[in-house]
Amino acid sequence: MSRIFQGVVDFGVSENKLMFDVVEKKLAEPKIQKLEPHMLYYDEMPGNMRFRKALAAFLTERLNAAKPLDPKYTKVCNGAGPMMELVATSIGDPGDCLLMPMPCYGGVFWDVGGRAQIQTLPVHLSSKMEEGETKPFQLTAKKIEDTYNEATAEGKKIVGILLINPHNPLGDIYSPELLMDILNFCHRHSLHVIMDEIYMMSIFDGEAKFTSVLSLPNIPDPQRTHMVWGFAKDFCMSGMRCGVLYSENEAVNKAVEALVYFNMIPGPIQHMLTEIVLDKEWVDNVFIPTKYSRMREARSYMCDKLAALDIPVRKSPSGLYIWADFRKYIQPLTQENELVLFEKFMDAGVYLTPGMAAFRCGEPGFFRLVYTVYRDHLEVGMERIAAVLKDCAENGLTKPPGGAQAEVPTTANGK
């Protein structure tokens, strides 16, 4: 039976739906389905020790960590977003600020700005390359420093920076040199570094090399360096809520241990995820090669269809999505018209995420498209995009008369 539902094809939410058959088979194994009495009762709030030991060993290997991760400093809660909130609450007070390169994943604004009430200050990345840069939207330590200096001159209190590596929505991987430049800058100014590495196992380009912050041998300020990861993207399990924090800061750990009372993961889920990360043979020889093969095939299909529509895409080695340039079809080029095009896509039954509204991109015309969807959705969605752009080319970018206004993506969308 076709999985096409009769409403909108979703290219907006960053989930990997290419691996259900493989994951379903794994989760059905008797040792994973086994239920033991202790799983039904209260346990350690930041995760039971068996799970945390398994995670520490797993991440030590996957991140090529400079030293073995300590289970004592490995904490879990019900999602990477909630973990971001716990860390933000731990390092700042309401009204404090975090620097954040933008465009960036829109959910972060709610993760740190909702209950924690931490403000996000954009380090704007531009499609126009400056001297010495090699690609559009390139992050440099100078851009971070310039933003920091401007903000502090205005009297704002900056407590840290939040980096997503690999990046969402650009798909970039930060070099070890850039990471060290940023870490040294933050050390000089006593700033925390929250490193979101939730896509570290979603790098489909075999020639690309990912550098985890925990792999760096001489972190300038380990007490202010915090790494967050989760199962949602890399293990294609956004519904199996589990976010992981590694931080050696005692005060942050104590705060998270207290706050995670509201975010505990059920015992059976911890057991299932423990068995998955312990099965190295399955991860290395079944899950990862199958996932990367399917990702490359789906991405190639979407890129080919976009190329046929004369839509440039960002060449990137990671992520479940493509950063695409629709400026050719948005004239005049304004944020309002970006949303007009977004509404036309929605009216046609395909949801892709506009850069300014969802990711706070500093300029209009860019959209993020998630390609890790069911194949029939991928094909129909691209057909609908092509039909919209054909209409724009023939009739111009005009809002359909009487058309319902599509809801602008909120911080909860575009994950």
Residue 407, pLDDT score: 61
* Closest among 32, 28, 71, 18 to 278, alpha carbons compared: 32
CATH 3.40.640.10 fits 36-279, yes or no: yes
Residue 372, pLDDT score: 99
- Output the CA angle 22-24-30, nearest 5 degrees: 115
> 102: which strand partners?
124
Q: Which residue has the higher pLDDT, 412 or 64?
A: 64
**132: which DSSP letter?**
T
pLDDT greater than 80 at residue 255: yes
Same fold, 9-21+283-395 and 36-279: no
The predicted model gives 51-65 an average pLDDT of 99
The CATH architecture of the domain made up of 9-21+283-395 is: Alpha-Beta Complex (3.90)
Q: Render pLDDT for 317-342 as a digit per residue (tens, 0 to 9).
A: 999 999 999 999 999 999 999 999 99
Determine the Cα–Cα distance for residues 95 and 117; give it in Å rounded to an integer.
Answer: 6
pLDDT greater than 50 at residue 2: no
CA distances to 22, 50, 143, 150 from 154, in Å: 52, 48, 17, 6
Determine the Cα–Cα distance for residues 200 and 210; give it in Å rounded to an integer.
Answer: 7
The predicted model gives 385-391 an average pLDDT of 97
pLDDT greater than 60 at residue 357: yes
CB atoms within 10 A of CB 332: 8
Query: Would you kindly state where each structural domain of the chain is located, as residue ranges?
Result: 9-21+283-395, 36-279
Residue 7, pLDDT score: 84
pLDDT greater than 50 at residue 413: no
Residues in CB range of 382: below 8 A, 6 or more apart = 301, 302, 305, 306
Q: What six digits make up the tokens of 387?
A: 């039909």
Split at pLDDT 50, 70, 90, the class of 6 is low
Which helix (H) or strand (E) is 75 found in, with range? strand 74-77
Residue 398, pLDDT score: 75
Determine the Cα–Cα distance for residues 198 and 201; give it in Å rounded to an integer.
Answer: 8
Determine the Cα–Cα distance for residues 299 and 54; give it in Å rounded to an integer.
Answer: 32
Q: What six digits make up the tokens of 32?
A: 């994973």
Q: Render pLDDT for 222-238 as a digit per residue (tens, 0 to 9).
A: 999 999 999 999 999 99
How high does pLDDT run on average in the chain?
94
Residue 72, pLDDT score: 98
User: pTM, whole model, 2 decimals?
Assistant: 0.93
Residue 414, pLDDT score: 47
Cβ atoms of residues 200 and 343 within 8 Å:
no
What single-letter amino acid sits at 3? R
